[in-house]
Structure 1
Amino acid sequence: MRVVVCDDEPLARERLSRIIREEGHEVVAQATTGIEAIERVKETTPDIVMLDIRMPEMDGVRCAKELNELPQPPAIIFVTAYDHYAIAAFKSNAIGYLLKPANKEELVDALSRATTLNSAQLNEIRRLENPMAQATRQHIAARTHRGIELIPLADIYYFTADQKYVQVRHKNGTVLIDETLKELEAEFGNIFFRVHRNALINLDYVEMLEAVDQGQYQVKFKNIDERLAISRRHLPVLRDKVQSM
């Protein structure tokens, strides 16, 4: 694959370029700003662009947005030192988001998975950069050892409290995020319903309410085996919601 590396730190550019070449790919150009990266992409038409986020003149998010508007946009992989821009962390099959210093294994994996950055992902990353942004999220972001993954809200079965974190059960597995159930309920109360002090569920995935014993009920979900307990306090409202669906 043909790659453009953009970072305002010379050592970071050289390290990324070296690893890319060792893996048999071609570094067709290097850039130090977002503006320069766009120029190099237009000149060389690469398959992938490695982008830092914090750079002078034009940051990586703005650069990615402009690159995505090209007739043949390259895939984007962000490489940044600023892990606190992500609310939570995990791998995405649609975008690479690596934390410096990214190791060789992470970089190779990102190169193999890189696909074109779409507008939903750009909006989510921009929101992470600007916590005051008011746009409603359509994704939950989480970080794993491999980078950042964006999980569509529509793919999430439930959120449950897990000590200091919240567990997100989605179609492709489970991840932890460092948001609270209270925050999630305030933001997504029209989609997720609280069934217990430690659980919010996506009503779209409720198959039925199962009786356990002595008036106790649990939620049975579509397509997965897990059940969640329903508190007596929340049962009447949940039953009404399910019956009206």
Structure 2
Amino acid sequence: MTNEPSTLLRCLVADDEPPARDELVWVLSRIPGVEVVGAAASAAETIQLVQSTAPDAIFLDIHMPGAHGLDLCQTLRQLPHAPAVVLVTAYSQFAVEAFATEAVDYVLKPFAEERIAQAVARIRARRGTPTSTPDALGRILAALEATRQEICRSGARVPVESGGRILLLAPQEILFCRCADKCIIIHDRDGAYPAYGAVSLDRLETQLTPYGFFRAHRTFLVNLQHVRAYSPWEGGRYVLVMDDEARTEITVSRLQAQEFKRRLQVLI
């Protein structure tokens, strides 16, 4: 006789951004055999809900108020009934580190419903089955590469204004984006254009990070594929030289310097 409750996968969602959190809850709730038992907006709330609801799995954003997602994974591993963890984030550079936390999967935003269903299938396949570290690393890197290919095939475009028209720029065409007088200016090899519509640099960062963009400074978002050179600068900062005709120089803030070095290691 089948024990029906054991087939139900009880999931918790943890993301500090309400739209992303709500979307993930909605997508999971549409998958047969999945029950969403809660949604958290901070690291503290995540731990509290894990302890009170004892979920089978948690879909966790990397950047959570109160703790980094990878650190939170390590904390969850110490719990008596640790849930399986799927990292859901816009930041691809943490994939190699994620395997050390024994994460089941690593999903890049923006995600398709099919990608979340695939992560659920992996959780179910793994239940009760130990996974070696090399296997975990290989699985995460393979999933990351598949997601990158899916993103490249998506045909995403960034709309900008030019001479009364709306141009659609592919992410790989964009050199960098900057804030200027409460306006977002987007640069490619042909010039600079105001972003079309109400858009913030934070929103662009979320959308473009999977394409290799990096927030060098609070006012600059840089496509790392178009960085020609860089050099250390005073105060623990760096200066980037872009590969445009003007060889534009962009400063990496001290707060972002460590992240810049991490991203370089991934690219190399």
Superposition TM-score tier, normalisation by shorter sequence: 0.3 to 0.5
TM-score, normalised relative to structure 2? 0.43
Greater share of residues in helix: 2
TM-score, normalised relative to structure 1? 0.46
Of structures 1 and 2, the larger Rg is shown by 1
